[in-house]
Chains A and B, each alone.
Chain A
Amino acid sequence: MVKYIIILHVNDNFNIWIMRIEAYLTGLLPRDDDTIDIFKRWERGEISKEVFMEAKYKIIKFWIDLQSNLDFEYIHDPQCTWEDLYRPFTNISGVDPGPLSRYFENNFLFRKLVINSIIDRIDNIFNGYLSYNFMPTNRKWKISIPGPYSLYKSIISNLKPDDLINIVINIVVSALKELYSKGYSLVDLFEPWIVYDKFLDENLLFQLYAPIRKLGIKYNIYTFFGSIAGRENILSRLGAEAVSIDIYETNIDNIRVPFDRVIIGILNARNTLLENFDFIENVVKKIYKRGIINTIILSTNCDLEFLPFKYAVDKADYLAQIKRRLML
């Protein structure tokens, strides 16, 4: 059953807020210490497949149960078994893992994708990577994958740009169809490059999104590691259900919010510091006042995987608390 929350909030100045507040997680979620150890031992060939699979299922189930208990609007696939956001795409014949590269301004390295030939066949991209077997059937599911612009930027290729654009479109379209067919009703397209890139290639961006918009599959656009300032209009024209703002990168006093549904990356997934509630309330108010918003979605600014397990769990729990307190 779809659950909506409509709140009437009277603040200190007797202004009335009417909006829906939702909350959910996004991106790759971290493993606990035991699971980290099991994965290492599996890689070294020290444990049986049975032991490995048991540990894998345990951590997946933990994150799913936590989200169910915290009553988030969507249960996010924990993606805690993924090596990085891009690795599943190496399941596609003709896509290879490239050299280790820094993932934006983080002490985290990922493998870019290497594509040097036209790809004829794309299917079962996420084979072995999805947790749909464990997702509760009475809830809506979502998952994160790279958006087409960020995917394009993360490929090493000697192909002609037009050929590569077509390949990226085919990959993202196939990925969205596959995820939809498995039961994911919402996909977070991770697009840090849209806000990180100093010189955004607008033509490329709209070219990449045109076929994706036509699919009729719901997607959010998550921006992080950069400010949306100056790119608000562009983001509003990409057909997303909601667009996210990383408030740790964006000075909210300097932006417009031309979205009716906005995701606020209110909790910093790159710092253990637990945010002060008054600060959060102030940010939510300011963003609300800057647009014609009917729904605010509270989330982390990026993957919780940038935090150790314990702190990630605390932040997830705090996210649910914030939602409840804002609705008082």
Chain B
Amino acid sequence: MINILRTQEIGSLRKPPELMNLWKKYIAGKTEYDALLQNIRRTSKYIVHTLEKIGLTYVWDGEMHRWEMYYHPVTNINGFELAGQVRIFDNRYFIKGIVRGKPKLTCNYYLNEFLFVKSIASHPVKIPITGPYTIADWTYNEYYFKKWSRNTTDLKLAEYKSKEEFVLDLAREVINPILKELSGRGAERIQIDEPAATTHPREMDIFVEGFNECVRGISSTVTIHICYSDYTILAPYINELKTRHIALEFANRDLWTLGTKNSDRPGYKDLKIICKEYGYDGEIGLGVLDVHTDKLEPPDLIKDRIIYALKYVDPDKLFINPDCGLRTRQLSIAFKKLTNMIEGVKLACKEMGIRF
């Protein structure tokens, strides 16, 4: 047993205004990629070094090389077209695509980013990539639905069959080749982001098969991140996923009061279902920071969340992270939250006699 708590960021961080403006200009065709790339690399270095200074075990550059987790793949895979902005919540929107042909990989859209971040980081890196189920779920499925909905009034079945084919095409033809290349070029830890995983309970088998097709033949550690989801839907399938690490959001659904009793930590109640009822004994990435508020979690609260989780997860299998990427917060706030997270980890380690 390692008896040590490890920490990680989940992925995205907010781009500084200057880079954000450059990205907007680039997307609008008003600036060259070289000008954008210079700024990306400068920002990327700053972020990686800051995260290392804060003390995270695994680092990434906050996804500065990508406009957004969905936009990045769909603008780099043939078969997709952009439809326009759709709301996620309140005033937050994302640009949603349409699949109008069979997806085809034209280039590994994560490779250069990976090679750059790996070259500048002194801590181990973990590259986050968007999973096939989420890409499919966040896309208007015209190509496959048209095919499956001909001559039927059972459109629910047509939707299922068209989603299944779409996800498996993405997993086999796009994501798996990307992972193979990243793995071959030295990516030791790859995180597949699947925030949409439990969106459609009856499609859980599609999600699982899609994930498992992605990791087929990959020797690197491939982890998965899921958030804002119903974990009681996920739990029965968790042992079917070919991964030993699952990073989940919990803080968003938890209280801000201190304590380590069940009633103090309602946001973490599903740990019991996952680890005890379904016997999952892999690594858990424990979300301890709510990414939707500027309010800073006090280190004592983070400590209590960790101590609660240690009832269900061994320390060597517990990773501490924010609920999700902190891109909804100002960078300065994100760094303060992460600093508190490390302080909370230290407090928990001290109290529980764990190395950090």
Contacts and interface: CB of A to CB of B under 8 A. Distances in A.
A251 B89 contact: no
Interface residues of A, number: 41
B332 to A, nearest CB: 15
A308 B200 contact: no
Size category of the B interface is 35 or more
A252 B153 contact: yes
Contacts of A65: none
Contacts of B141: 271
Contact of A272 (B83, B87, B156, B201): B83
Given A99-B252, A100-B252, A247 B155 contact: yes
B83 A311 contact: yes
B91 A39 contact: yes
B140 interface: yes
Interface in A286-317: 286, 305-311
Contacts of B84: 33, 308-311
Contacts of B229: 102
B216 interface: no
B142 A286 contact: no
B90 interface: yes
Contacts of B91: 36, 39-40, 43, 83
A305 to B, nearest CB: 6
B89 A108 contact: yes
A273 B88 contact: no
B98 interface: yes
A107 interface: yes
Contacts of A241: none
A227 B155 CA distance: 11
A84 interface: yes
A30 B199 contact: no
Contacts of B6: none
Contact of A107 (B138, B159, B230, B253): B138
A307 B156 contact: no
Given A105-B199, A105-B200, A272-B140, A110 B89 contact: yes
A107 B154 contact: no
A176 B292 CA distance: 33
Interface in A52-81: none
A18 interface: no
A250 B153 CA distance: 9
A10 interface: no
Interface of B: 83-91, 93-94, 96, 98, 137-138, 140-142, 145-146, 153-157, 159, 196, 199-201, 228-230, 252-253, 292
17 contacts: A83-B90, A83-B91, A100-B228, A102-B229, A105-B199, A107-B196, A107-B199, A108-B88, A108-B89, A111-B89, A227-B156, A249-B156, A251-B156, A272-B83, A286-B153, A306-B86, A307-B86
Which 5 A-B residue pairings sit nearest by Cβ, starting from the closest?
A: A308-B84, A109-B89, A272-B140, A273-B142, A251-B154
Given A84-B90, A107-B137, 14 more contacts: A33-B84, A43-B91, A84-B89, A100-B89, A102-B228, A102-B229, A106-B199, A249-B155, A252-B153, A253-B154, A272-B98, A272-B140, A308-B84, A311-B84
